[in-house]
Structure 1
């Protein structure tokens, strides 16, 4: 009985010391927006290689530690897998898409996703290996364009701006264009967005409408584009996306960091020619 009493007393003393040792430190003096000492939230974020993963690398290497974030970046070369991976909980968030594309994916596949504010805009551009200007595109020319609906409509509006198409209606696709809307009789070759840039060198192709992230990945010079999308009023800002109802606090911390002045400055300094523009036009 004495042995049991002694053991009980010893255990009580140990628990008391343990409780004292586990008391949370006073972090009242921690800088605003920084994490309490020892608090680290891990995130797995999917992204296109350029510029999205580059921007996330800047956040990871310069801002994440103070915010209590540990970021793992997984790169994707297409526009389909990042949303599938997010839905299957392989990712905590992804960063590669704009609102119109997200809305089309939610409608088509029933994803329950929530989006943050736009972080940056990448103007869509038209390139040609055969023609020096958009005005040189002949009647009946072959144009390569993405097969994803939201970006295809975006590309058609850019061709309208360039004077190659007329009065393109909302939601138009290459299959719904009328002769009046396509007065030059352009022929369209649809393909996956990541493949469009590869078709540019095809002798049968007159021009290609290319998403900016694939322009940068392929090493093309954006200044050599023969037509470029306007930025003012542009609804295609890229944003962070996560599962609706996800309570991972790191997602909101990352959303805040992506809209910091440090990130805006990094984007402006890394792509000074306007290939990637910080903010939400």
Structure 2
């Protein structure tokens, strides 16, 4: 990937003047990908400004969305969403996927998946 492209995105500034503001609930601080989304929206003259609303606990974005305090959220996998909706009676709808991130496994006890299977008492047939 071109370093100039990455720098352009990370330094991108937009204005909400004359645009419809869409509040998106997120958790954590790794949300630079939304700058790229905003740039595409601006390049296409979509008239939309993304305002990130950062939450410090995972139970809060769905509650805020259910209460109408934000317009969208992007922080969870579908299993968590389904569990949270069942537990709290929310009526939320998945409208699309946003960020797909690979998650890694870390350990100070095992160094291979086979060692993990052995530690867990699983044996291959």
Fold match (TM-score > 0.5): yes
The equivalent residue for 2:101 is 122
The equivalent residue for 1:57 is 35
Larger RCO, structure (CA 8 Å, separation 6 or more): 1
C-alpha offsets along residues 231-272 of structure 1, whole Å, 9 cap, x if unaligned? xxxxxxxxxxxxxxxxxxxxxxxxxxxxxxxxxxxxxxxxxx
Flag structure 1 segments of 5+ consecutive residues without an equivalent.
1-37, 138-162, 166-181, 185-281
| Paired positions, count | 104
1:183 match: secondary structure = coil
Give the CA RMSD over aligned residues.
2.6
C-alpha offsets along residues 182-228 of structure 1, whole Å, 9 cap, x if unaligned? 636xxxxxxxxxxxxxxxxxxxxxxxxxxxxxxxxxxxxxxxxxxxx
* 1:80 Cα deviation from its structure 2 partner: 1.1
Q: 1:76 to 1:164 in 2, by over 3 A?
A: farther
* 1:119 Cα deviation from its structure 2 partner: 2.8
Give runs of aligned pairs for residues 262-273 of structure 1, distance below 5 A: none
Q: Aligned pair 1:108/2:87, yes or no?
A: yes
1:119 match: secondary structure = coil
Give runs of aligned pairs for residues 236-251 of structure 1, distance below 5 A: none
Give runs of aligned pairs for residues 1-281 of structure 1, distance below 5 A: 40-49=19-28, 51=30, 53-60=31-38, 62-65=39-42, 66-137=45-116, 163=117, 183=121
Q: Retained in 2: the 8 A contact 1:64–1:71? A: no
Q: Retained in 2: the 8 A contact 1:46–1:91? A: yes
Q: 1:103 to 1:119 in 2, by over 3 A?
A: same
Flag structure 2 segments of 5+ consecutive residues without an equivalent.
1-16
